[in-house]
A and B are shown apart, each in its own frame.
Chain A
Amino acid sequence: MPIDPSLLLLASEPHDVSLGVTLTFTGILVALIVSLALEEKIHAKKSVIVMTFALGSLFLGTALGLLPFHRITWGGHEVDLPVFIPSVDWNVIAIILGASLFVDVVSKSGLFTWVAIKLTKVSRGDPVKLLWFYGLMTVVFSAVLNNVTAMIIVGSLTAVSLSKLGREDKLLGFLLIEGLLTNVGGLLTLISSVPNIIVGTAAGISFVDFFLAASPFVAVGTVLTILMGARLFDIKRLASDAERRRAKELVSSFDENDGIESRAFFWFGATMTGLFVIVIASASHLPVIKDLGMGYVALLFAGIMILRFKSVADRFYQAIDWDLLAFFAALFVTINVMERALVLDLIGEGLHAIIGLGDTSGTAALLVSSAVFSSVTDNIPLAAMLAKILGAMDPAPSSSLWWAVIFGANLGGNLTPIGSASTLVAVTIMHKHGLKMSFGAFVKYALPYAAAQIALATGYVLLFL
C-alpha cells in the first residue's frame, strides 16, 4: 500500500524561521560534525553522538515551534505517528538491515572464505599475485556486500596468509591498499555504499544505470591503485624457484573447504547471493517488487537465509550492527530538524555558489569539496544533506552533480583514517597486528592514492557523466 504523500511532505512544508534560529541550528550541526570527527577521542559510539544531537534538536525544534505536529493519513486512515518517525528514510534502514543480515548468514555457509582461500591458493603465495587477487576481491566484495564487511574478510585473510608466508613486512602495504580499494569498489553499484544508496535513491538512478556509469571508473581506479601500491610498497614477484616452491607449499596448507559445514548450504548461499544481486539489480522493473522497493528485497533474502538457522536466529540478531542502524535513524531525524530550521537552505546557498562556478568548474568543485568534507567526518551525513539539497534543486537523474557528490563522498574517505568506516577497519587490523599507523602517517601514505583517485574521478565525471 503506497504511503500517503502527506507523510512525505511533512518535512518540507513552507514555514518562517528567523536567521538567529537557523544559525543556532547550524551551530548544532557543526558541533555534531566535529563530534563525529572526534569520535575516537571522545570515546563515544556514532549512534550515541548522533542520538544525543537528535534528541536535543527535537526538543529545541519543538520548543521553537519548528516541527509539524498533526495527524497524517495513510491508506485512508488517520495515523498518529511520533514526529520523528516520518523523517527517517526507512527504505535505507531496511536495505542496510536486510543486506547485513543476509551477508552475515551467507558467510556461515563458508562461501566468502571459500572464495578468499581459493584465490590465495591460486596465487601460489606470490606477493604480486596476492596483491592483485586481494585487491580485486576487495573491490568485488565491497560492491556485492559492503565496504566494512569486505575489509573485514579480506583484511583478516591478508593478516593470516602473510603471516603464514612470513611476509608480515608487507602487511601494512596490503591493508592500506585494500582499505583504499574498499571505497573504490564501493562505487560500483547502487547498494555498495550508504552514500550511493542515499544519493542514488534521491536522484532516481536505477541499479543498472548506476553500474554502467560507475564501472569503467572502478576498473581504472582499481588498476591504478594496485599498480601504485605495488610500486610504493615495493611488492615484488618471488625471485627464485625455491621461494616459489616454498610459498606454494605454505599456501597449499589452506583448506578452502574447512568453513563449509554443509555442501548443500554452501551452494544455497552461492545461489542466493547471485539471485540477490540479480533481484536488486532488476528491482525497479519487477512487478510487485518495484512497489515494495530494495529494502523489501534485502529483508526478503535475509528472511529466507535465516530459515536455515531458525532455532538460533537470535544469534544473528545480536550480530547486527545496531550502532550503525541507530546512527542512521538518529541522523535522519537530526537532518529533518535541520531542514525545518532552514539550515539546509543555508548550506544550499553555499552549494549554489559552488555549482554556480559553471558546468565544469562547479561540478569539479562540488566533487572535490565533497571529498574534502568526507575526509574529516562521516560521509553519510554529507551524502544525506547534499541529497536533500540537490533534490530540492531538482536536477535530472543523469546530472553530473549527483555523480560529483557520489564520487566525492566515497573517495574522500581515502584521505584520512576517519574518512570511512572501512579504512578505519584497515587501521584497526594494523593496530591489532602491532603496526603503528597514526592519523598523520595514514594521510602521508594515503594522500598520493587518494589524490590520484579524486583527480581521475573528476576527469571521469566531467568527461563521461
Chain B
Amino acid sequence: MDKVDQFESLFRSATKPAFEREEVPIASVLVAADGSDEEAEAYGDRVRSFLDTLGANVHWRDVGSDGFPTINALHEILEAEQPDLICTHRHLASASRRWQSTLGEYLDVLTQTTDTPVLVLPHPGAEDVPDFAQRDTSMVMALTNHLPGDGRLVNTALRLTRPQGTLALCHIEDDLVFERYMEVISRIPDVDTDLARETIHAQLEKEPRDWITSVKQALDTAGVHVRVQELVVFGHHLKTCLHHVKEQEAGLVVIHTKDEDQSAMHGLAYPLAIDLRDTPLLMA
C-alpha cells in the first residue's frame, strides 16, 4: 500500500496552516527596573520611547526593585496589575550581573512563572551596548525553529512592528539534527539516501515558506503596511540565529519561551537570551 501512503502524503502536504491575523491587545504595560520608583520611571521613559508603536492609549506602571525585595513581592505586583506586557532588563534586582551566563534569578523565575510576555532589555548600567532607546521597532524579527502554524508569535511580533517597518520571519532548521537523521538514513538499505536528503530538506524548507506566504497574503488582505521578510535557513540553532539578528540589524527579537512539554524554558530561548546582550528580546 505504498501508493496509499504516497497520496496521503500529497494531500497532507497540501493541507497548509493558514495565518489568521488577530489583534494582540496591549492595554497595560508594567516596567520593572533596578532602584527606586523614580529610577524605574526614568528607565520606563526609555522603554516608552522604544515602544512608541504601542500608541498613547496604554496604561504604564513603572516599579523599582526597591518596591519588591523578593520575587514573591514582584509576583504580587503582577497579580494586582495584570499587565499585558512586562518590560524589564537583564539581571533585574540581581547581584549576578557580572555573570553573563545568567539572566539573573528574578528574570529566570519570571519568564517561567508568568504567561505574560516579557520584554528583556539591556541592563540600564550596560556601557558596552548601544542604547536601545535610540532605536525603534522598525525592524522586528520573529525567530523560531518551528514557524508553521505559530500565529501567536507572528501576531505578537506584528503588534510591535512600526507601520511601514519590516517584520522578518526567521525559521532556523537545526542542521545538526538534520545531519544526525541523514546519517541514520544512510545506514538503512531500504531508503534512498540521496532522495531522502533532497526531499526532506526541501519539505523542511517548504513548510515555513508556505506559512510565510500565508502571512503575507493575510496582511495584504487586511491592509497592514508592514514588509514581511522571509528567512528560512539551515544552520546551527544558536550561531545562525545570532548571525541573522546581527545581519538584519533587528531592533527587537521575538521568541517563544514556553514549552508545553516541559517546565523549563523553550530549548532555543534561554541560550539566545543569554547571548543576545545588546538586542531587546521579547520572550512571548
* Chain A interface residues toward B at CB < 8 A: 113, 116-117, 149, 152-153, 155-157, 159-161, 164, 252-256, 258-259, 425, 428-429, 432
For chains A and B in complex, what number of residue pairs have CB atoms within 8 angstroms? 58
Q: Is B18 an interface residue (CB 8 A)?
A: yes
- B residues 1-17 near A (Cβ < 8 Å) are 1, 3-5, 7-8, 10-17
Instruction: Give Cα distance in the complex from A385 to B12, angstroms.
Output: 43
B17–A253 CB distance below 8 A:
yes
Chain B residues with Cβ under 8 A from A159's Cβ? 8
Residues of A within 8 A of B11 (CB): 113, 116-117, 156-157, 160-161, 254
Selected A-B contacts with CB under 8 Å, 10 pairs: A149-B3, A156-B8, A156-B11, A164-B15, A254-B11, A258-B14, A259-B13, A425-B4, A428-B4, A432-B4
Cα A412 to Cα B196 with chains together (Å): 42
Residues of A within 8 A of B18 (CB): 252-253
Given contacts A152-B4, A156-B4, A256-B14, 8 further A-B contacts (CB under 8 A): A113-B10, A113-B14, A152-B3, A156-B10, A157-B11, A159-B8, A254-B16, A258-B210
Which residues of A are found within 8 Å of B14, using beta-carbon distances? Answer: 113, 117, 254-256, 258-259
Contact between A259 and B10, CB atoms less than 8 A apart? yes
CB distance from B195 to the nearest CB of A (A): 9
- The reply to whether B7 and A113 contact each other, CB–CB distance below 8 Å, is yes
**Residue of A whose beta carbon sits closest to that of B195:** A315
Nearest chain A CB to B205 CB, angstrom units: 14
Expressed in whole angstroms, the Cα–Cα distance for A254 and B13 within the complex equals 9
Residues of B within 8 A of A161 (CB): 11
For A432, list chain B residues within 8 Å (CB). Answer: 1, 4
CA separation between A161 and B11, bound complex, in Å? Answer: 8
B10 to A: closest C-beta gap in Å: 5
A153 pairs with B1, CB closer than 8 A: no
Question: Nearest Cβ in chain B — how far from A109, in angstroms?
Answer: 12
Q: Evaluate contact between A152 and B7: CB separation under 8 angstroms.
A: yes
- Residue in B4, B12, B16, B210 whose CB lies within 8 Å of A155: B4
CA distance A419 to B17 in the complex (A): 40
Residues of chain B lying within 8 A (CB to CB) of residue A258: 10, 13-14, 16, 210
Q: Are A160 and B4 in contact (CB under 8 A)?
A: no
CB distance from A160 to the nearest CB of B (A): 4
A33 to B210, CA, bound (A): 52
Partner pick for B15 among A152, A153, A253, A425, CB 8 A cutoff: A253
CB distance from B189 to the nearest CB of A (A): 15
Q: What separation, in Å, do the CA atoms of A256 and B14 have in the docked complex?
A: 7
How far apart are the CA atoms of A117 and B11 in the complex, in Å?
8
Question: A153–B7 contact, CB under 8 A?
Answer: yes
Contact present for B1 and A157 (CB under 8 Å): no
Task: Determine the distance from Cα of A156 to Cα of B4 in the docked complex, in whole angstroms.
Answer: 6
- Nearest residue (CB) in B for A253 is B18
Complex interface bits, B10-28 against A, C-beta within 8 A gives 1, otherwise 0: 1111111110000000000
- Write the chain A residue with the least CB distance to B20: A249
Give every chain B residue within 8 A of A428 (Cβ-Cβ): 1, 4
- Shortest distance from the beta carbon of A92 to any chain B beta carbon, whole Å: 22
Residue in A160, A161, A429 whose Cβ sees the most chain B Cβ within 10 Å: A160
Q: Using Cβ atoms and an 8 Å threshold, which residues of chain A touch B7?
A: 113, 152-153, 156-157
- For residue B9, which residue of chain A has the nearest CB? A156
- A241 smallest CB distance to B (angstroms): 19
Question: What are the 9 closest A-B residue pairs judged by CB atoms, nearest first?
Answer: A156-B7, A258-B14, A160-B11, A156-B8, A152-B3, A253-B18, A157-B11, A255-B14, A428-B1
Residues of B within 8 A of A157 (CB): 7, 11
Please determine whether B12 and A160 come into contact, CB atoms closer than 8 angstroms: yes
Distance in Å: Cβ of A432 to nearest Cβ of chain B: 7
Q: How far is the CB of A306 from chain B (nearest CB, A)?
A: 18
Q: How far, in whole Å, are A157 and B12 apart by their CA atoms in the complex?
A: 9
- A258 to B210, alpha carbons, bound, how many Å? 10
Known contacts A428-B1, A432-B1; decide if A160 and B8 are in contact (CB<8 Å).
yes
Cα–Cα distance between A116 and B11 once the two chains are bound (Å): 9
